[in-house]
Structure 1
């Protein structure tokens, strides 16, 4: 009831300009923060931080991934933020379905001061920079002496790349590609469980051994969410050139990464399942091994009690290197009226306190450079996590991030390329055509 009330208040404000005084909510006020006095030292004392958090403050937060679902925002973030900062009045700014791709037009048009935008790295262009909301928070990091070295370095490197050396936000989840398997199918066919540090070729052999028909039922060895996997591949082969934004689908490393994973679907009987790779693994329970986004850990545990995890397959020349991270961030926007108050929220979300709670209750992977302590309680309040090899969900080393603002365009093209490739088309020709389509879509985005 409480969260629904917040949603209605902000939704009303997005359509009624009288909700805010134009003199105090216009763009010139974005850099002003009336919630706290300026510090006299480079590092703000704890007493000043307390003064900020003790001051009643309205914070407007947008979470495009939740759309109009304020309950998802509250469950994942809002309730914990309110516990930590009871004097903050959180106001959720919904992404309205009626606005289509004209994201947050009503809110921004009426002067609603979005203080925090929550977005994945791949959609940062859509929800931050395209809306001209990006804002460097390096001054706040210095002001509050926030220790960036506690965080997984690749997550900060990604921000440096996006912000030309600055930082727009702090991460709330690392995201990653994970490898899980159904122990029941291994036991059924007498096949040893996947070992740590195995290569892609060894995983290919396992997939062939497990793909078979038994009692009239087809069982498949291995399925991959290959479209997303290419966007975070272990070879750091990028979709696009970081400067020109021209596609690089025909580079040798890109071809190697694609063919390495696509070959699994050419094993006789191991084709893409009709129900989809996720449903085939979790619901049909006819796929022995699955590799996909880290958001699939929790539903896997719920639907396959006898599951476990292992490290992702490795290239022989890239031992210990996992996929690239797929982080999501809390951004303080250019429209923020309460930057100092908002930064306390960012600091909390990226803290061990919140990260431990998140892993324990939601099975979302942490952003810390050393996650070992947090992983000790990972999934502890969820069913079917006890005794699982959850440490394997995180790689020893993340592959270097190939940052691109057009990740979703690349992922979409990979789905088409995979379909063509499995249908017998020449891979190079299919990738060349995909590159031409992608370049046109990127150009269209840039000309908006």
Structure 2
């Protein structure tokens, strides 16, 4: 304790050079020593408590205790959910569960103001969390400068990223140049659905798990026919979604140059593999209305099989009585490999003044607790690395999903994700244009080259703005 008897310390305790009575001096000296000793022993990891009766007290907290303290703080968190723009959907999918987990938090929903958010950005209104898909991360986060690296929070709370599906974290590392901007909501996995009634009608065996694309192509040919004056199709796709989620991880754009990669070998192979289905007689799309394909499967019920995004599971359960799920078809050169995921993320923005509280929300959404609820009541595919438990109750809270082959959805590893672009939506449109040209007789290389030329001009114009 000799180090505490420094002259500067004595001068601090005797401001103005006034002499103190012995008892008072000793009392103050003892208090000072105690304070310094506690400070020295604290290691710098102290946090003030929120207990009004313990004002000024400090105590070291473990990451778990700090998380609990933050979770019990009274504060407001603001959320931006641009894809839907409705508070009702936000509350149904996230808000009600967040309120149950964090009753002290007040949740503020920010309505969508405009497509480019110019008014919102100019207002400097606080935005704690943005919920948006990977493909729209640029539009609603990075391209408008709202991104914030949460690596410090991951370290502070010892958050274990290894429990998350690896491809969902790997793509975040690429977006953030080694950092990470958000945690995933779900995988957005593609699914392979089929109408058992149509297979029964025509005496054809159902699709099975582990089929190749070639086998599914042959099955599509068998199921495409006219019967009783009704045209039946073997298969429909979310065409651009299947191309974008391809198993070869062939990207739309070169990540360095921004140029379209439609004529790259892997991309041509991907496009040809899917586009050939539309050259089967009877598989043509009237008036090129690709958006109507899901209705043909769900409402008209004249399509035997459909590959589309995971959200179609709940819609299929509502529309069809006799249906099921098979694992996605695979490529011979990539046996057993599934398609890329199509995840949504929760991002903490650089406008958040409540980063710790926002991070507690992110970790809750990625927790087993929420992921199991989400799988059960929303039929969303979990973002967990090991999602078998959550998938056991997949869709149990909804009608018509029980007893279906839901484990097929997660039976294959995900292909590595490709980076999205601000022009991804435009590229999706060009895929449909290229398909139209290919279906009309133009060779695949020419159709894709012309599509690449169009999108490159569009990108060049956009970069000049």
**Secondary structure in structure 2 of the residue aligned to 1:66:** coil
2:116 alignment partner, one of 102, 124, 129: 102
Q: Kindly tell me: are residues 355 and 445 of structure 1, through their superposed partners in 2, closer, same or farther at Cα, counting changes over 3 Å?
A: farther
Shift of 1:273: 5.4
Aligned twin of 1:75: 92
The superposition leaves residues 126-169 of structure 1 with CA deviations (integer Å, 9 ceiling, x where unpaired) of 00011100110000001011110000000000100000000000
Root-mean-square deviation (CA, aligned residues, Å) is 1.9
Q: Determine if contact 2:314/2:401 at 8 Å carries over to the other structure.
A: no
Is 1:272 equivalent to 2:291 in the alignment?
no
Aligned twin of 1:335: 351
Between 1:277-286 and 1:416-425, the stretch displaced more is 416-425
Q: Determine if contact 2:249/2:418 at 8 Å carries over to the other structure.
A: yes
TM-score of the two chains, using structure 1 as the length reference: 0.88
1:435 alignment partner, one of 446, 452, 456: 452
Q: Determine if contact 1:93/1:107 at 8 Å carries over to the other structure.
A: no
Shift of 1:376: 0.3
Aligned twin of 1:54: 72
Shift of 1:385: 0.9
What is the distance in 1 between the residues matched to 2:463 and 2:446? 26
Is 1:347 equivalent to 2:347 in the alignment?
no
Shift of 1:403: 1.3
1:281 alignment partner, one of 272, 297, 302: 297
After superposition, where does 1:306-345 map in structure 2 within 5 Å?
Answer: 306-345=322-361
Q: Determine if contact 2:63/2:158 at 8 Å carries over to the other structure.
A: no
Is 1:445 equivalent to 2:462 in the alignment?
yes
What is the distance in 2 between the residues matched to 1:313 and 1:240? 25
Aligned twin of 1:375: 391
What is the distance in 2 between the residues matched to 1:121 and 1:136? 16
The superposition leaves residues 287-331 of structure 1 with CA deviations (integer Å, 9 ceiling, x where unpaired) of 001001111111011101211000111111211111111111000
1:407 alignment partner, one of 406, 416, 424: 424
After superposition, where does 1:191-270 map in structure 2 within 5 Å?
Answer: 191-270=204-283
What is the distance in 1 between the residues matched to 2:75 and 2:345? 22
**Secondary structure in structure 2 of the residue aligned to 1:65:** coil
Structure 2 unaligned spans of 5+: 1-47, 51-55
What is the distance in 2 between the residues matched to 1:304 and 1:273? 24
Q: Determine if contact 1:309/1:392 at 8 Å carries over to the other structure.
A: yes
Alignment size in residue pairs: 409
Between 1:221-230 and 1:140-149, the stretch displaced more is 221-230
Which structure ranks higher in relative contact order (CA pairs < 8 Å, sequence separation ≥ 6)? 1
Shift of 1:44: 4.2
TM-score of the two chains, using structure 2 as the length reference: 0.85
Q: Determine if contact 1:35/1:57 at 8 Å carries over to the other structure.
A: no
Aligned twin of 1:63: 81
User: Over alpha carbons, which structure has the higher Rg?
Assistant: 2
Between 1:349-358 and 1:414-423, the stretch displaced more is 414-423
Structure 1 unaligned spans of 5+: 1-33
